[in-house]
Amino acid sequence: MMNSKLNFNKSKVMRHSFILAILLITLTIAVSAQENEQTVSFRTPHIELVFQPPLRSGINSDNPSNIEVPRLNLLVNLFENYMQYLNRLQKIATGTALRVLYAPDQALDSDIDDAKVIRLRETGLNTFLSQVNQYLKDRSGTEANYLLESADSLFTIPDQFPRPTSKVAIRTELVNHSFFQKSLEPDTDFCVIDDHRVITARPFQRSNRLFLMTDANDVCKSELLLGQARTWYADLKTSGDGRYLAFTDGMRPMIMALNASESKRLFSDDNLILLAMQWAPQKPLLSGVMLNNSTQERSFFIYDAEAASLLSLGNSELADEVNYINPHTCWSPDSRRILLTSARSVHLLDLESGKATINIVRVPNEIAEIIWSDDSNSFALVEVIGQARQRYIFDDLDYRKCVLHRYRIKPDFSVSEDHAQRVESRNTIKLVSFWTSDRVLYLEGRLISKKLNTPFWDLSSAFTANLTAGPATSASRNASAAELVSTPSALPLQYLYVFRNLDSKFKNIYDAGFNHSNNLFVDKFSNIWFIGLRRPEDVNQHQSVYNHRQTPYPFPEGNVSVLSDIPASKMLLLLKFLEEYNLRLIRFNNTISRMFMLANFSGPLNLWSGDLRKIVDGLGTSEN
């Protein structure tokens, strides 16, 4: 039944897309030769809005759709509610609807019939209210005295927005965190604090605001955390202890304590913009990489949120290394050390001693991934030798090989490689985590681009799950005979499903939930690997690995592993659910037991969450 619903939705989308295409042709839009996104539509009972996303102004600039899409979501919600309100009062003619075109980068023909289509010039609420009111005044049956004069009044209209909840959301016991307040402001970004606390971003009159959402005893509450941004809030990340929030305002990093009412900007220089940042797992320490837009120089920082100060790094060589390709910081599990990767090198920063060691590892080729051991005294990385032959199609046979290296950190901060645990493969090697008996769990298999660019990848038949050979260093001399394994060994892998949240780095807008009223903007890869393996109790459930490989590699940037003993048939239902409902912004709690997502299952784009096993069971119990 889910498939039939999907086919029905697809047919509707195709029909409406055809109508919109005809509309765009009749409007004679001068479309530019280069586009970064297809035409996007927003549809409610009384509004049909067509949006042609603008291009980025530069490689280091923010994507304008990061702001435009959330504002259009808010605009559509407010004005659908406005039209419902006027209809209920019978102050406009029955059947009155708005057809709106917003193409900020396009030159619109002056012959467009403004009597039929509203040409939106910008997303200011007062500007659009004036255009809508004039459009309504020009139609018979409108009582102009009842039209609102200020956009502020749009927020005071009783909520009439239609909210039919999707059956699948009911069946899987998903919780709508915005249901109890029925806000017309959509949720457009979020970060998870713990099982019952989430921070969301919502567009408002001028920019957006941050809210703290709590869910306890089947009651969802929302409180304003931070008022409107100077530019736009994004990149929400909470510290491991749940006490601090890091985010950006116009690409400038900010920090705030969740029990405070004010935020602090980390750098006063407007030329400095954030490229990446990560919290330490166990301490309120934030590391990141900045870019100076004026000089194009990059810099590395560590901020102590508890002390409210930047830490002095005191090593000019370390600062120089950030200017090489692919700079990235990786915290140790105990939060005492950082591995900084850049180009083909790995550098170590030990915070307790204040010592920075440059080039503790330097390999001849590209570093794809790196992970820490649980004791923070070892790490493993994957080196990729060769390069892609095609720009858009990935085939790992284009490369010479992948090499897995495992290193130990000595007391003097030098490292030694355990050659017994080295693995070479003609195919792809994907790191997962350190495993029991001081071995490394990795995935290995043949990887090639799919003919159809869909988010769900079934790699079960192409990949195997393996453990490296047992360690051969002095650290393992007391190991039992069973632990002294001389060769890599395969584990009984039930399945390997991957959900790829972006179709490409340049496809960023999605109708998440297929309600069509709101759209989701997401620009960072967050690939979820569902691995059918039983996890030992002493292995951490939350495994996240950053991948440095570039296009055409299909799984760059963020990668989260979900190790589970849920049967393959049930897990397959979950992957189909994510794919068929186009859910592209998904996050988990620390134990990977609860899944959070943005979806328009009930009108506006809202934050939903549910117990992972209940979702899986609900998908398999009855028809949608």
pLDDT at 217: 77
* pLDDT reading at 485 higher than 80: no
pLDDT at 111: 57
DSSP letter for 507, please: B
pLDDT at 110: 56
Q: How many Cβ atoms are within 10 Å of 84's Cβ, its own excluded?
A: 19
Q: For the segment 399-421, what is each residue's pLDDT rounded down to a tens digit? A: 999 999 999 999 999 999 999 99
**Inter-residue contact 249 to 274 (CB < 8 Å):** no
Q: For the segment 541-577, what is each residue's pLDDT rounded down to a tens digit? A: 888 999 999 999 999 999 999 999 999 999 999 999 9
For residues 32-47, b (16+ Cβ closer than 10 Å) or e, as one string?
A: eeeebbebbbbbbebb
Mean pLDDT calculated for residue range 426-433? 98
Residue 199 to residue 203: CA distance in whole angstroms: 14
Q: Can you read off the two tokens belonging to residue 545? A: 């690995």
Element (H, E) at 300: strand 298-304
| Look-up of token digits 């605009």 | 75
pLDDT at 34: 34
pLDDT band at 483 (very low <50, low <70, confident <90, very high): low
Is the pTM for the entire model greater than 0.75? yes
pLDDT at 26: 38
pLDDT at 622: 59
Average predicted confidence (pLDDT) for the chain: 89
**Inter-residue contact 586 to 138 (CB < 8 Å):** no
pLDDT at 473: 58
Q: Can you read off the two tokens belonging to residue 190? A: 């979020």
pLDDT at 565: 93
Query: What is the distance in angstroms between the CA of the first residue and the CA of the last residue of the chain?
Result: 6
Name the β-bridge partners of 432: none
The CA-CA-CA angle for residues 470, 471, 472, to 5°, reads 120
What letter represents residue 242's amino acid? G
pLDDT at 452: 85
User: 167-181, 261-275, 338-352: which range is least confident on average?
Assistant: 167-181
User: 1-5, 255-259, 408-412, 455-459: which range is least confident on average?
Assistant: 1-5
Residue spans of the domains in the chain: they are 2-156, 364-449+467-491
pLDDT band at 451 (very low <50, low <70, confident <90, very high): confident
Element (H, E) at 130: helix 125-137
Q: For the segment 67-89, what is each residue's pLDDT rounded down to a tens digit? A: 999 999 999 999 999 999 999 99
Residue 250 to residue 258: CA distance in whole angstroms: 21
Q: For the segment 135-169, what is each residue's pLDDT rounded down to a tens digit? A: 999 999 999 999 999 999 999 998 878 788 889 99
Q: For the segment 36-54, what is each residue's pLDDT rounded down to a tens digit? A: 467 999 999 999 999 999 8
pLDDT band at 17 (very low <50, low <70, confident <90, very high): very low
Q: Can you read off the two tokens belonging to residue 484? A: 């002294």
Could you tell me the strand order of the sheet in which 244-249 lies? 233-238, 244-249, 252-257, 264-265
pLDDT at 36: 46
**Inter-residue contact 13 to 21 (CB < 8 Å):** no
Q: Is the peptide bond before 364 cis (omega within 30 degrees of 0)?
A: no
Mean pLDDT calculated for residue range 426-442? 96
Q: Is 70 helix (H, G, I), strand (E, B) or coil?
A: helix
Q: For the segment 278-307, what is each residue's pLDDT rounded down to a tens digit? A: 999 999 999 999 999 999 999 999 999 999
